[in-house]
Amino acid sequence: MVDSIKRIQALAKIIFLDGMRRHAVIGLVGLALISEMFGLIFLDFFAQDLGRAVSDFLFSTMWVTGLIFLFFHAVQVMAWDEEHKVIFGIISRPISRSEYVIGVGLGLAMLLLLLEAVLGGLAFAALLWVKSSVVIELYFQVFNYTHFILAWFGLVLSLLVVLSAILLFSGVVRGGFAVLMMSISYYFIASGLPLAREHISTLVQQGGANAALEYILQGLSFLFPDLNRMDYKNFILVDVLPVSVSEISMQAMLSAAYIVLALSVACFAYNKRDIQ
């Protein structure tokens, strides 16, 4: 077990360093900075709710940057190893396929965490600066540091859920493009499903749809979790948390369990796959 953890750590470190060497993080931080500079013009249009507009913009930038990292870097990692036959060099060593999948996942998660930590730090500094520069307090009354950290964790956790799905698809199918298409489809289904559920639920209440459809959609949401549930950025500007801590903990546990499940299935599928 200890040896297995050491091997996973070693592989994760290689993936992390490889990502740094390919400037995956630095390039995206640069992109995010340009976006935030553009945001200064955008934010000039807001007369009243300046704090909310700033925090929304910064968190959206972090979210988009995270998605770009996942869809343009993370999707390619396992596919690249296969296409360039690097995988044979790795698994010819005493490392199992499961360890390989987990190691890649851990390495990518570390890169994602580093990226979001840098962007989160910049966002925190930007919010502090904007709050101190606002003359009329009414326009930016509250900046709650604890809720900012909660919102950051929510964002990272939802990106990790997407990452786990990408690893699952990488374990199941061959080729970066196929994984990318499946990952994008997954993202859109996960995003649209809550709305479809809401709509069908209303129809069922009015007698316009079969209740079985509601159960089918509920079953689908087991596979495609609602990513929006971990969007806590609206809490940054309030002193009192509008939801209970237990509710947030339950949501975090749900996401963590989903990630573990997706990785388990990815390991299982990759063990069974013919990678020749």
Partner 1 sequence: MKRIGVVFAAALLCYAYAFNHVDAVYATDEKAHLTAPPSMSVIKATLPYLQQLTGEVLYVKTAVYIGSVIKHKLNIQPELLANNFETMQKVHPYLFDVYHMENAYMRDMGDPYVKRSIAMLKDGMIKLPNEWRLPFYIAFNYFYVLKDNSSAYQYLHKATELSGNKFFSHLASVLSAKDGELKAGIIWLKALYENETVQIEREGLLKDIQAYEKAIMVQNKVYQYKQIEGSFPTKLENLIPNYLPSLPAIEAKFEILYDDELGLISLQRPRKST
* Residues in contact with partner 1 by the rule CB under 8 A: 42, 45-49, 52-53, 56-57, 59-60, 63-64, 155, 158, 188, 191-192, 194-196, 199, 226-228, 231, 233-234
Question: Are 193 and 224 in contact, with CB atoms under 8 Å apart?
Answer: yes
State the nearest-atom distance from the C-beta of 136 to partner 1, in Å. Answer: 9
Nearer to partner 1, 107 or 225 (CB): 225
Question: Are 17 and 10 in contact, with CB atoms under 8 Å apart?
Answer: no
State the nearest-atom distance from the C-beta of 75 to partner 1, in Å. Answer: 19
State the nearest-atom distance from the C-beta of 194 to partner 1, in Å. Answer: 8
